[in-house]
């Protein structure tokens, strides 16, 4: 026997900045492109999103993801030193000229990967994490499958040309999102404009010029080979919203950068993120036959929703919540839902769940509860 309460509550909204304008579609000159919002994973713009193309050094987004996962899991320390193997030292292309037997900290190797796209540094990190580059590449492909990157096959951790080493703009956006969403401390490396390694003896300057010249830029990774063309996964954050702009197979560095900027400008001009939540605190729910008399309901997830800026004043929320629930109650058990509507159309339904578990009263517990109520009544 559950009684349902329904109440229409106002959503907490972000205010459109004075003088903001809405722009048309971005101008993109590339073989493929995707613009994605970080928190929701929604695609705001796409062009040939699933075409399988060479990613060049944008491959290193996955390399950095696996290294960050290892660090955040406590399996690797930024201050740990790594001894460079002959194979790592032999890598061509972009590099920081590591020597066989040289030691360098994980932190400096990550700088070398994120800032100047060091192939030698990438292999050194791969070998430290997985024992060998080939074992690391197996992990890269496994992680890609877990993320739903159906267009991707990695053959190395660097992005150096290899027949069959392919991915798509959409898949790059997926792995970029995973990196910046769950490992925000990667910004320690990806936002560096200029730095050095080897105690200042070797200077680093970021290959991603948007870091200096685009407001809010947070990363992420450039790439170029003659066959791949100019590639980029560019991330930027403004007003609490972070976007991922992926460009593949552009003709020049400037065209690549301008295409990424155009997509980011389009996203920031036209979209925003609102808090889909009640304006008032959710009331506790009574628990029948529970060791606790009530349980606090909470929203499942952040409740943040991506909308067009033109719709910001048209958002409403409706809460449906149980008045009581019978024990036992599991943590995360659904107690109701928050429906977010825009102009009367349902946009999102967010579950409302129990914040903690509540065990059911035992027979002695029920007897004790009755005694307590009896004496309290007196």
Catalytic, 117? Answer yes
Catalytic, 111? Answer no
Neighbours of 213 (CB within 10 A): 11
Q: What are phi and psi of 33, to 5 degrees?
A: -160, 150
Residue 50 CB-half CA count within 13 A: 4
Pick from 267, 195, 273: which is nearest to 235 by CA?
Answer: 267
> Where are the strands (E) in 69-216, listed by range?
81-83, 103-105, 194-197, 202-205
> What are the tokens at 228?
């791949």
Catalytic, 57? Answer yes
How far apart CA 352 and CA 376 sit, in angstroms, is 34
Selecting among 38, 94, 111, 117, the annotated active-site residue is: 117
Selecting among 38, 60, 111, 261, the annotated active-site residue is: 60
Catalytically active residues are 57, 60, 117
């Amino acid at each position: 026997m559950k009684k349902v309460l329904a109440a229409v509550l106002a959503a907490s909204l972000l205010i459109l900045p004075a003088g903001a304008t809405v722009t048309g579609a971005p101008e993109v000159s590339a073989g493929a492109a995707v613009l994605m919002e970080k928190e929701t994973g929604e695609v705001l713009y796409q062009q040939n999103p699933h075409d399988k193309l060479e990613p060049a050094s944008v491959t290193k987004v996955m390399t950095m993801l696996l290294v960050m996962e290892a660090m955040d899991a406590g399996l690797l320390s930024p201050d740990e030193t790594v001894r460079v193997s002959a194979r790592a030292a032999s890598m061509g292309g972009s590099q920081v000229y590591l020597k066989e037997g040289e030691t360098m900290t994980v932190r400096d190797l990550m700088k070398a990967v994120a800032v100047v796209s060091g192939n030698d540094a990438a292999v050194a990190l791969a070998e430290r994490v997985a024992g060998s580059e080939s074992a690391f590449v197996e992990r890269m492909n496994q992680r890609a499958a877990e993320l739903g990157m159906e267009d991707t096959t990695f053959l190395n951790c660097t992005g150096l040309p290899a027949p069959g080493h392919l991915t798509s703009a959409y898949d790059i956006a997926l792995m970029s999102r995973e990196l910046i969403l769950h490992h925000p401390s990667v910004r320690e490396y990806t936002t560096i404009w200029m730095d050095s390694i080897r105690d200042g003896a070797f200077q680093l300057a970021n290959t991603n010029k948007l870091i200096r010249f685009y407001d809010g830029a947070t990363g992420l990774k450039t790439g170029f080979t003659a066959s791949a063309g100019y590639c980029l996964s560019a991330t930027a954050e403004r007003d609490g919203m972070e976007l991922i702009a992926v460009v593949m197979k552009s003709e020049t560095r400037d065209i690549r950068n301008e295409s990424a900027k155009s997509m980011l400008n389009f996203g920031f001009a036209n979209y925003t993120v609102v808090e889909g939540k009640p304006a008032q605190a959710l009331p506790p729910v009574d628990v029948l036959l529970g060791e606790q008399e009530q349980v606090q309901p909470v929203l499942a997830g952040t409740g943040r929703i991506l909308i067009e800026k033109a719709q910001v004043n048209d958002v409403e929320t409706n809460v449906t919540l149980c008045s009581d629930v019978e024990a036992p109650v599991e943590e995360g058990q659904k107690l109701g839902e928050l429906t977010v509507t825009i102009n009367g159309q349902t946009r999102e339904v967010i579950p409302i769940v129990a914040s903690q578990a509540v065990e059911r009263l035992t027979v002695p517990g029920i007897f004790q509860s009755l005694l307590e109520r009896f004496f309290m009544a007196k």
